[in-house]
Amino acid sequence: MDYKRILVVCIDRDGDIHTKIGVKGPIIGRANVFDSAVRLGLTDPRESDTNALFEAVRMYDELKEEGKDVEIAALVGSENVGYESDSILSSQLDVVIGGERPDGIVVVTDGVEDEYVLPLVQSRGKVISLRRVIVKQSEQLESTYYVLQEFLKELVSDPKLSRLFIGVPGIAAILYMILGQHGWRLIVGVVGVFLTIKGFSLEDTVQRVYDELRSSFISGKISFFTYVVATIIALVGVVSGYNAISGQGLATRELSTLVPLFISGSVDLLLFACFVALLGKVMDAIVEGGVVSKYIILGVFAFALRIILDAVSRFMLGNMDGVNLAFSVALGLVLSMFAFFSIRSRKVPEPATPEESEKAVQ
């Protein structure tokens, strides 16, 4: 398509031309644009807008040699990049387009940032060419910079990302401030728990636990207090298990020894923590007139699991023979099956027939 009148537009969105040489936009005409490019280059030879201005002049001359009816202009924004600079560019664009009335527009920029205003130009005329002028060594660096800039903006505005990339490092910094060098172990543990939850898709389970704690606290249930006590006891149990293996020398022991040592040192306190948590649920059920038996059955499950884990750990440490191991595992399995069949046998009573209801009334 043969365009009768072409406008070459150079865009300086961040207003470096005005900031460094005091020239406001729009700059119209080859002589004025060329003069601004020379002054800007002498003022700051490192300024990339100088290259864009010279490229706009070069394209103007090239189109002139081809016999095209062409005009050139430079739009100058503001150092306050965003609404303010884009508003200024929009006003200048209206002045240039209204005066020249081009059929096609050639846009020249010095990077990705200036191209953000390309829709403003397209809304006022047909863009037939886009020319980005960047020093070759810095093109990838500048593009990477703006990708990182957009990511940081999204990081701050997105609650999920901000909790992960800002909240977690913030907690780590606080722990390091309070605990010093010893805080790194706790920080790594917290990160490990987070990765475990994400890796095994345990978010829903954690959310249900949180909702249960929150509802029990708001409603003033006894279970909230027992949950807190059970958590403390469980943490003490984990520390006790860690002390059991650290006292034996972590570096000199194999995993087949460390695991049973940890179980032996922590299993009783962990079972006690489970019983304390279930006790709170039992008391809530009694107060509310709910079903108590299911929590008792869960307690039986926990006790059966404790018997099996303790027996296996003792056998691996050489403190129990095979006969006692088999007896303990069998006892644990019997208790587990008893609890399982107790749950299965709890049936909801069937509704009475009309005849049975009449007999009951009589």
3-state SS string for 198-219? HHCCCHHHHHHHHHHHHHHHHC
Our measurement of the distance from residue 349's CA atom to the centroid of its chain's CA atoms, rounded to an integer in Å, reads: 48
- In order along the chain (362 residues), what is the average pLDDT of each group of 10 residues? 84 89 90 93 86 91 90 90 88 89 88 77 87 64 68 72 76 78 74 80 81 78 87 91 75 71 89 91 85 84 90 87 88 84 59 48 46
Buried b (16+ CB within 10 A) or exposed e, 224-246: bebbbebeebbeebbebbeebbe
Q: How far is CA 31 from CA 35, 85, 105, in A?
A: 6, 25, 19
- For residue 134, the model assigns a pLDDT of 65
Q: What are phi and psi of 254, to 5 degrees?
A: -85, 165
Distance in angstroms (rounded) separating the CA atoms of residues 329 and 308: 5
CA 54 to chain centre: 44
pLDDT at 158: 72
- How many beta carbons lie within 10 A of that of residue 28, not counting itself? 18
Using an 8 Å Cβ cutoff, are 103 and 5 in contact?
A: yes
Helix H or strand E segment including 106: strand 104-109
Give the whole-angstrom CA distance, residue 317 versus residue 326. 16
The pLDDT value given to residue 112? 65
| Spatial separation of the C-alpha atoms in residues 62 and 88, rounded to whole Å | 29
Q: Taking the domains of the chain in order of start, what are their residue ranges?
A: 5-143, 202-345
> What's the confidence (pLDDT) of residue 264?
87
* Alpha helices by DSSP H, the chain: 16-21, 30-43, 48-65, 83-100, 118-122, 136-157, 159-162, 168-179, 183-199, 203-218, 222-246, 255-288, 293-317, 322-345, 354-361
117 close to 86: Cβ distance less than 8 angstroms: yes
**What length does the chain have?**
362
Q: For residues 302 and 272, is the Cβ–Cβ distance under 8 A? A: no
Provide the residue type at 94 as one letter.
D
Tokens encoding 42: 């002498």
Which neighbouring-strand residues pair with 76?
12
205-to-161, 200, 233, 255 alpha-carbon distances in Å: 21, 11, 21, 29
Which residues have CB under 8 Å from 357's CB, separation 6+? none
pLDDT of residue 31: 93
User: In 3D, which of 302, 167, 300, 180 has the Cα closest to residue 230?
Assistant: 302
- The Cα 81–Cα 310 span in angstroms is 67
Three-state DSSP at 316 gives helix
